[in-house]
Amino acid sequence: MGTRLSVSFEDKEVLPRTDRPPTFDPLYGFPKGRKPREMKASWEEMDRWKLELGDRDYCAHLLIALKKCQVFFGAFIRFFLCEQEQARRMPIFINHIFCAFMVY
């Protein structure tokens, strides 16, 4: 099932060249430039909820909402976790994809 994928990574013509700068304009489609990403949670709020350094990213406000839910519902968190957990997992995936294509 993964043969097609592994074959494509062996072919040097289709491999992305990560050692070179991009061959396209990263601002293409953004006539006014990209908006800078802003943190929605403050450092004080992240300290108050005792977030690990690895969790202090652009999605920290969603983790804080999840922790608030855990405190509020306590033992019944399993029944109410779906929405907050999905909200936490999806931005991690989007952030991973975003960071893979952006040059900081």
* Alpha-carbon gap, residue 13 to 11, rounded angstroms: 6
pLDDT of 103 reads 46
Tell me the residue range of the domain where 82 lies: 62-104
Residue 104 lies in a domain: yes
Task: Give the DSSP per-residue string, 49-93.
Answer: TT--GGG-STTHHHHHHHHHHHHHHGGGHHHHHHHHHHHHHHHHH
pTM given for the model: 0.53
Residue 43 lies in a domain: no
Residues (pLDDT < 70) of the chain are 1-11, 14, 73-104
pLDDT of 101 reads 52
Contact (Cβ atoms closer than 8 angstroms) between residue 89 and residue 64: no
pLDDT tens column, 17-32? 778 887 888 888 899 9
pLDDT tens column, 54-66? 888 888 888 888 7
Residue 85 lies in a domain: yes
Residue 80 lies in a domain: yes
pLDDT of 104 reads 44
Residue 97 lies in a domain: yes
Q: How many CB atoms lie within 10 A of CB 84?
A: 19
Q: Total domain count for the chain?
A: 1
